[in-house]
């Protein structure tokens, strides 16, 4: 049985841990609010550029672009968004598990796919599994700007444009609520669904031509989807960390209660033993 000093030490260390997890929970909650705001404010831009591109793609003009057309799939690229730090529950593990299951179904060898990874945790996990990494970005700020990921977004679009890959997906944790984040896969390229849309609400006139507009907008639209997914993923990351730290704080409370009960019992037993020894000694002197 642990001594009173050992139990007291464990209670003290657990209380200090609780202070840390509680502070991390509050910090994550604050970052979550800002991340949600960033993601929501970016949505109108993505929707508008989608409307314009869909208007051209679904019109009766002869405008076309390789990013709108299917081609035989020889190699696939995946953009995966992980976190740079841990203590976020199953945020990274769930994403990796679902991705690995999908890869086993779709591909027979590592020659058929590659990954553009955002986040140190994901990079390290993928390297341990010998997943081919085409590019990486680590050390992203908590509230990233488009400039922070422009290099990898441009690389992703260029891989498709130069026909080094024939299909491009993005994998990330979609924010549903502070306690729910769903692993999500979205096809980035080709943008075949845009050419099939017929519910365009507005008509546009294009100068100098629809083809020239497509040439400029399609790469920007694909890049904007990656950035929008990153903002969504950041909100999910902070929500997962907030939930994990909340659970850790609750567990610390429970452990402190159990240790305090053990301490009181041990102390009571020690006092009882001392009293018994005193009484026994007094009786022996009579």
SS (H, E, C) 152-200: HHHHHHHHHHCCCCCEEEEEEEEEEECCEEEEEEEEEECCHHHHHCCCC
Q: What is the CATH number of the domain that holds 14?
A: 1.10.287.80
Same domain, 57 and 177: yes
Contacts of 206 (CB under 8 A, 6+ apart): 56, 212, 213
pLDDT of 195:
58
pLDDT of 98:
95
pLDDT of 262:
87
Same domain, 178 and 253: no
Q: What is the CATH number of the domain that holds 201?
A: 3.40.1380.10
Q: Which of 108, 106, 126, 105 is closest to 116 using CA atoms?
A: 126
β-sheet with 167-177: strand ranges across = 133-137, 113-118, 76-81, 167-177, 180-189
pLDDT of 71:
87
Give me the long-range contacts of 202-205 (CB less than 8 A, separation at least 24): 202/51, 202/55, 203/55, 204/52, 204/55, 204/56
pLDDT of 201:
55
Same domain, 122 and 254: no
Question: Number of folded domains in the chain?
Answer: 2
Same domain, 51 and 153: yes
Q: What is d(CA 197, CA 238) in angstroms, rounded to the nearest whole number?
A: 35
Same domain, 82 and 21: no
Start-end of H helices in 65-145: 91-106, 120-128
Q: What is the CA radius of gyration of the chain?
A: 28
Q: Which of 90, 89, 109 is closest to 98 using CA atoms?
A: 90
Same domain, 12 and 77: no
Same domain, 83 and 149: yes
Same domain, 36 and 161: yes
> Residue 184 has which token pair?
């999500």
Tens digits of pLDDT across the chain (286 residues): 568 888 889 999 999 999 999 999 999 999 999 999 998 898 888 888 777 777 776 665 555 677 778 889 899 999 999 999 989 989 999 999 999 999 999 999 989 999 999 999 999 999 999 999 999 999 999 999 989 998 889 999 899 888 899 999 999 999 999 899 999 999 888 887 765 655 555 666 767 777 777 778 888 888 888 999 999 999 999 999 999 999 999 999 999 999 999 888 888 887 787 777 777 766 666 6
Q: What is d(CA 177, CA 236) in angstroms, rounded to the nearest whole number?
A: 8
H or E stretch covering 117: strand 113-118
User: What residues make up the domain containing 270?
Assistant: 4-25+248-285
Same domain, 270 and 174: no
> Residue 250 has which token pair?
């609750």
SS3 85: coil
Same domain, 208 and 266: no
Same domain, 61 and 91: yes
> Residue 274 has which token pair?
């001392």
With tokens 């904007």, the residue in question is 224
pLDDT of 267:
83
Same domain, 138 and 8: no
With tokens 């990874």, the residue in question is 117
């Amino acid at each position: 049985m642990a001594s009173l000093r050992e139990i007291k030490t464990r209670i003290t260390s657990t209380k200090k841990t609780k202070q840390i997890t509680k502070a991390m929970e509050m910090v994550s909650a604050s970052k979550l609010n800002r991340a949600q705001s960033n993601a929501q404010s970016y949505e109108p831009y993505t929707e508008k550029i989608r409307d314009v591109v869909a208007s051209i793609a679904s019109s009766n003009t002869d405008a076309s672009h390789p990013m709108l057309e299917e081609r035989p799939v020889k190699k696939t690229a995946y953009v995966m968004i992980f976190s740079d730090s841990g203590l976020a529950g199953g945020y990274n593990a769930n994403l990796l598990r679902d991705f690995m299951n999908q890869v086993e179904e779709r591909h027979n060898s590592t020659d058929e796919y590659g990954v553009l990874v955002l986040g140190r945790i994901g990079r390290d996990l993928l390297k341990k599994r010998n997943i081919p990494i085409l590019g990486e970005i680590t050390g992203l700020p908590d509230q990233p700007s488009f400039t922070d990921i422009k290099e990898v977004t441009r690389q992703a679009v260029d891989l498709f444009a130069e026909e080094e890959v024939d299909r491009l997906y993005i994998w990330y944790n979609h924010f549903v609520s502070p306690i729910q984040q769903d692993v999500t896969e979205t096809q980035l390229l080709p943008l075949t669904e845009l050419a099939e849309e017929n519910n365009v609400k507005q008509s546009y006139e294009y100068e100098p031509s629809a083809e020239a507009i497509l040439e400029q907008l399609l790469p920007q639209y694909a890049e904007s989807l990656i950035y929008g997914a990153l903002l969504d993923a950041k909100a999910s990351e902070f929500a997962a960390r907030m939930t994990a730290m909340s659970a850790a704080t609750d567990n610390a409370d429970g452990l402190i209660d159990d240790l305090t009960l053990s301490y009181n019992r041990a102390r009571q037993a020690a006092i009882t033993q001392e009293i018994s020894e005193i009484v026994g000694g007094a009786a022996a002197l009579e």
